[in-house]
Amino acid sequence: MSRRSFLVVVSVIAAVLVAEVTAAETTAVLITVDQSGKGNFTKIQQAIDAVPENNREEVFIVVKAGIYREKVVVPANKPFITISGRRAADTIISWNDSKNTYNSATLAVLASDFVGRYLTIQNEYGAGAQAVALRVSGDRVSFTACRFLGHQDTLLDDIGRHYYKSCYIQGATDFICGNAASLFENCHLRSVSDDVGTITAQRRESPSENTGFVFLGCKITGINSAVLGRPWGAFSRVVFGFTFMSDVILPEGWDNWQDPSKQSTVYYGQYKCYGKGANPSRRVSWSFTNMTAQDAAPFFTKSFIGAADWLRPLPKHFKRAFSSRSHP
């Protein structure tokens, strides 16, 4: 082994050891939400309200199985919160609102450094208006093994850097929309439109914005037909890589939202996708159907969202901040 190789190996081992030590020493404030009254609170919003403003500690909110019919907001001044169920199908946050894209969300995450795990978040309103299940407007936010259910604008991926892993996202019209910089890894996207669905409506508005939606190793299914996206912003950017596309995806792949001027400014790419809906031969001429490895390299990595600096491990130790009591 050369000296250079030896130093690289030593550096890698040192980095791993530092990460393990950091993870082992991580302690979080534990809060339990349980509708039966056996936790600290019976509602999720009560638990969030109990977190101090400008919080600097990790707070881990465990939500016991149940259907929580409430509209939940994580304020911008309450960072470092994790909300975790045990299984998404059993831990459901549900509401029915259609005020508008920004105010209708069942769960609105406005804070930075938020983590969501094993939750179903749904807006039951249905077709006919913007009805957001999840709004994410904080920076450094991640969701793992969650389900987002809605119809129009299901996931408002608004602003900030976000990571979604092994999530299920269902909707019909523009059901992943916004101007965040987000990586979706191993996610399942399902279109349930009665007509032609639209999976994404990304809102990048200038070439200087480092935003866009990247889908890596995902799966697209659905009913009827759908397009991969249309431009909410003139410089909309969406890239799919190593993704299975069923025949729900129309051959043209993308829509210009009745504005041909955006065809020269959007960036819509596809790299090594497969399935009946992934055939590049009839894609619109203004999309990148045959991205090279060099084209793809900046997108299909967590570096696209700078995740190495902020994705954090689960806490190893917990402390209780509340006495064992429940609230009505």
What pTM was computed for the model?
Answer: 0.90
DSSP H or E run through 239: strand 237-241
As given in the structure block, the two tokens for residue 130 are 């913007």
Give the residues of the chain that fall short of pLDDT 50: 1-24, 323-328
Instruction: Provide the greatest CA pair distance for the chain.
Output: 66
DSSP H or E run through 25: helix 3-25
* Residue 161 zone, left/alpha/beta (φ > 0; ψ -120 to 50; rest): beta
Domain ranges of the chain: 3-310
pLDDT, position 22: 40
Q: Give how far Cα 72 sits from Cα of 44, 47, 209, 307, Å.
A: 7, 10, 29, 26
Distance of alpha carbon 274 from alpha carbon 53, whole angstroms: 47
Which position among 139, 153, 157, 158 bears the catalytic label? 153
What are the residues facing 178 on neighbouring strands? 202
Backbone angles phi, psi at 127, to 5 degrees: -75, 160
Is residue 34 flagged as an active site residue? no
As given in the structure block, the two tokens for residue 215 are 């889908």
Which position among 97, 157, 158, 174 bears the catalytic label? 174
pLDDT, position 99: 77
pLDDT, position 25: 59
Is residue 174 flagged as an active site residue? yes
Q: If you classify domain 3-310 with CATH, what class do you get?
A: mainly beta
Neighbours of 84 (CB within 10 A): 18
Nearest CA among 156, 207, 146 for reference residue 178:
156
For 317-320, which contacts have Cβ atoms below 8 Å and span 24 or more sequence positions?
317/25, 317/26, 317/27, 317/28, 318/27, 318/28, 318/29, 318/30, 318/60, 319/27, 319/28, 319/29, 319/30, 320/29, 320/30
